[in-house]
């Protein structure tokens, strides 16, 4: 039976110009252009076979387009996170009722912090970046929720980047795309590794949806490496969202329908 994938997205906030920035200098963001790019991203998700549930923009929450950070959706349960950046914490209350239509929902409680961008699931193995956003307490809470369903949860040190998934994402089943300067690929066990082109440090973030990788047009050299490894690419231009330190995984929550 064909698996139906749900992709939850949220429109770009009119306030995105006031987003959190950690590693980038602030640049003006053209909201209309960002919204057009985001719509094209949603269309790419639909072409990949996802049923896109597009939520309305929240203009008073600058980073709320980056829905990945506020929840972790496992097959059995959804975990609403407590984001590491205080300005992002109110986003969680907006996503909880949406996910409650798809999964039983549980919450990360204070003082723990966890950003979905730090969570990489490879089958029943969950890896969580120990980053500026996710801490030991948040990771332990995720472990407590996930282990009864047979998941292992492993904390992974990351350095130089915002989230674990800035440094590594799943490019195809059994294949990971890695920036070795930011994370040690040895931690992830038996996987094939495609390394980014060193001159494209932000290139390790791709979004696996169905049979293809949704991938930014801004990393042509790494794209060549992925295609040489047999990865099918669906290219998207997310340049305005990249100015907000966003990437392609962070703009959606993709999971199988129940
Ligand atoms: C932030 O700093 O929280 C946002 N400006 C960017 C979040 C990107 N999220 C992600 O890559 N998972």
86-112 residue pLDDT tens: 999 999 999 999 999 999 999 999 999
Alpha-carbon distances, residue 126 vs 111, 187, 192, 198 (angstroms): 21, 12, 17, 26
Residue 2: its pLDDT value, please?
73
Cβ–ligand 1 contact at 245 (below 6 Å): yes
Mutate to test the pocket of ligand 1, among 34, 84, 162, 214 (most ligand atoms within 8 A of CB): 162
pLDDT digits (tens, 9 = 90+) for 13-34: 999 999 999 999 999 999 999 9
Q: Which of 130, 142, 165 is nearest to 79 (CA)?
A: 142
Residue 2 Cα, ligand 1 centroid: separation in angstroms?
32
**Residue of the CA atom closest to atom 8 of ligand 1:** 246
Average pLDDT of the chain to the nearest whole number: 97
Q: Is the CB of 244 under 6 A from ligand 1?
A: yes
- Span 108-127, average pLDDT: 98
Instruction: Give the closest residue to 19 by CA, choosing from 33, 29, 32, 8.
Output: 29
Burial status of residue 174 (CB atoms within 10 A of its CB: 0-12, 13-18, 19 or more)? exposed
Judge if the beta carbon of residue 83 lies within 6 A of ligand 1: no
Cβ–ligand 1 distance for 69 under 6 Å, the answer yes
170 pocket-lining for ligand 1 (C-beta < 6 Å): no
The enclosing H or E element of 106 equals: strand 104-107
Active site residue 23: no
Average pLDDT for 182-199: 95
pLDDT in tens, 138-183: 999 999 999 999 999 999 999 999 999 999 999 999 999 999 999 9
Using CA of residue 124, residue 182, residue 237, residue 55, what is the dihedral sign? positive
Residues 69, 81: contact at Cβ < 8 Å?
Answer: yes
Q: How far is the CA of 66 from the centre of ligand 1 (A)?
A: 6
251 counts as catalytic: no
pLDDT at 94: 98
Q: Is the pTM of this model over 0.95?
A: yes
Three-state DSSP class for 40? helix
> Which 3 state secondary structure label does DSSP give 4?
coil
pLDDT more than 70, % of the chain: 100
Residue 26 is predicted with a pLDDT of 98
What are the tens digits of pLDDT across the range 45-55? 999 999 999 99
| Predicted pLDDT at 198 | 98
Name the pLDDT band for 258 (thresholds 50, 70, 90): confident
Residue with tokens 């029943």: 124
CA-proximal residue: ligand 1, atom 10 (nearest): 250
What is the per-residue pLDDT for 1?
62
247 ligand 1 Cβ < 6 A:
yes
Q: Which of 68, 69, 204 has the most ligand 1 atoms within 8 A of CB, as the residue to mutate? A: 69
What digits encode the pLDDT tens for the residues 65-85? 999 999 999 999 999 999 999
Residue 200 token pair: 């494209």
Integer angstrom CA distances of residue 102 from 6, 26, 146: 9, 36, 17
- How many angstroms separate the alpha carbon of residue 245 from the centre of ligand 1? 6
pLDDT of residue 81: 98
Q: Quote the distance between the C-alpha of residue 16 and its chain's center.
A: 18
Q: What is the average pLDDT across 183-212?
A: 96
Res 72: pLDDT: 98
* 163 CB near ligand 1 (under 6 Å): yes
Name every residue whose Cβ is closer than 8 Å to that of residue 246 and which is 6 or more positions away in sequence: 65, 66, 238
Q: Which of 19, 50, 250, 251 is catalytic?
A: 250
Percent over 90 (pLDDT), the chain: 98
The pLDDT value given to residue 89: 98
């Amino acid at each position: 039976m064909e698996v139906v994938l749900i992709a939850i997205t949220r429109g770009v906030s009119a306030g995105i110009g006031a987003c959190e920035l950690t590693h980038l200098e602030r640049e003006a963001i053209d909201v209309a252009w960002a919204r057009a790019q985001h719509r094209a991203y949603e269309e790419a998700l639909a072409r990949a076979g996802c049923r896109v549930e597009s939520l309305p923009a929240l203009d008073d929450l600058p980073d709320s387009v980056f829905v990945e950070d506020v929840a972790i959706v496992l097959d059995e349960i959804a975990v609403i996170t407590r984001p590491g950046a205080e300005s992002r914490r109110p986003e969680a209350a907006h996503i909880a009722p949406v996910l409650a239509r798809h999964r039983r929902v549980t919450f990360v409680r204070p003082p723990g912090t966890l950003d979905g961008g730090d969570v990489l699931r490879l089958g029943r193995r969950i890896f969580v970046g120990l980053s500026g956003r996710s801490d030991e307490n948040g990771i332990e809470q995720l472990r407590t929720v996930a282990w009864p369903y047979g998941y292992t949860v492993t904390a992974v040190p990351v350095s130089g980047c915002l989230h674990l998934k800035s440094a590594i994402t799943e490019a195809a089943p059994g294949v990971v795309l890695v920036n070795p300067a930011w994370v040690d690929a040895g931690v992830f066990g038996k996987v094939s590794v495609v390394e980014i082109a060193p001159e494209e440090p932000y290139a390790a973030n791709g979004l696996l949806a169905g049979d293809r990788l949704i991938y930014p047009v801004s990393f042509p050299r790494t794209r060549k490496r992925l295609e040489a490894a047999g990865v099918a690419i669906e290219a998207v231009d997310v340049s305005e969202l990249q100015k907000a330190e966003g990437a392609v995984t962070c703009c959606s929550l993709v999971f199988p329908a129940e």
